[in-house]
Amino acid sequence: MLRLLVPLLLLRLFWRSRGNGGYRAQIWHRLGLYGPHRAALARERVWVHAVSVGETLAIIPLIERLLAERPEARVLITSTTPTGAEQVRQKLGDRVDWDWVPFDTPGAVKRFFAHWHPTLGVLVETEIWPNLVTHAAARGVPMVLLNARLSKRSARGYARVAGLTRPTLAYLSAVAAQGRADARRLRALGVNPDVLAVTGNLKFAIDTDALQQANERERSALAPGLAGRPVWLAASTHPGEEEWVLKAFSALKKERADAFLMLAPRHPDRVASVLALPELHQYQVVLHSAFKAAHTASDNTAQRAAGQVLCDKDDVLIVDTLGHLGALTGCADLVFVGGSLVPHGGHNPLEAAAWRLPILTGGHVFNFSGIYRDLINTGAAMEVDGSTLPAVLLSCLGEHADAAQMKAMGARAGEYQSAQGEVLERQWAVLTAHLP
């Protein structure tokens, strides 16, 4: 069936490449066409597939440990999106091999395995591809699913194609589920209970020391313009959310003229469309990339030479760079996590929790429902919608904000995140049990 869809998938890649050349570069390798070059054989080649940014950031602590403790192993990471690929480049550089994941067709998968010769495959979160898993089993390559999550919505979708899903899941050598509900759904779809363990969410495994060091670098450029100001971070926003965020920020500005907004679209290639929003034109806007290199943008966007700092006349920082959001989060007083005012499923709130910050979220959080339920129930987060966001924002950062309540919310968020400390060890044990 997927072979019939390949022309449509190629057309979609060509279409997306018009706005992002990264998609154009992947077409041949997604077909499993590599030219005459063949990757060198390795006694251990651990192949890790992480779709995009979130999955890549989650698995990097395990990869770092693998590189340190098994230096003889070669690690191959595959991605589906250019943003995921960029994270691999930034975080791991030439210490790993990297490629695009092939389309899940028999021919592309066969050529991928013949080219890279993996001895162990690791899938991250919800990647269940029948041809990849079946071909690995035929070659005697164990496949492990780490940090596995399966929402009710996804489970219903997989259940509709149970004839493909059930035998695919039965081939998995090990599954490390994020939570009991995920494990229950995976077991119902065909995962062997003997290979299934509940290990927690790798996204809890945050290197706070590294975050602190990165935050200190960010503060050197931002602190002069942020001193004494209420700072709101709207993180990982999607189309349809920035308008609500800017409406709420406008209400805050009426009470606190010194309020500052850090706005981080989930996909940096959307920055031009965000800058074009009429609601933004009343503010002095700077781009995060302007602190890294000279930058020219729209009329209301300040130009900054490398090394310059934020000033107290700036109103909004647009985060148009990858890999800096975790460090920038530590500069905020309050965080709204996007993908939640629109039905995208939400994004990971745990970096905000690690910084001991109060969290706002919309109601569309089906990808992280357990985490948000816990955070809301413990008083670490509040749910909003577009219409209530301005009032809630004023209660948190406005002229009559309750600073003690904000501090208590942040403390509860930090306690929740730190209580999950053994996740990395548990998933490391699952991984190493299947290394050659």
CA-based nearest residue to 198, from 181, 210, 218 = 181
Nearest to 222 by CA among 331, 337, 384: 331
φ, ψ at 209 (rounded to 5°): -65, -45
Among residues 55, 125, 218, 242, the one annotated as catalytic is 55
HSE (side-chain half, CA atoms, 13 Å) at 424 = 17
Across the beta sheet with 381-383, what order do the strands follow? 285-287, 316-318, 260-265, 231-237, 334-337, 359-361, 381-383
Give yes or no: 55 in active site.
yes
Backbone angles phi, psi at 144, to 5 degrees: -120, 135
Q: How far apart are CA 94 and CA 162, in angstroms?
A: 40
From the CA atom positions of the chain, what is the Rg in Å?
22
Distance CA 372, CA 347 (A): 10
Amino acid found at 90: Q
252: tokens are: 């805050």
3-state helix, strand, coil in the chain (%, to 5): 50, 15, 35
The residues annotated as belonging to the active site are: 55
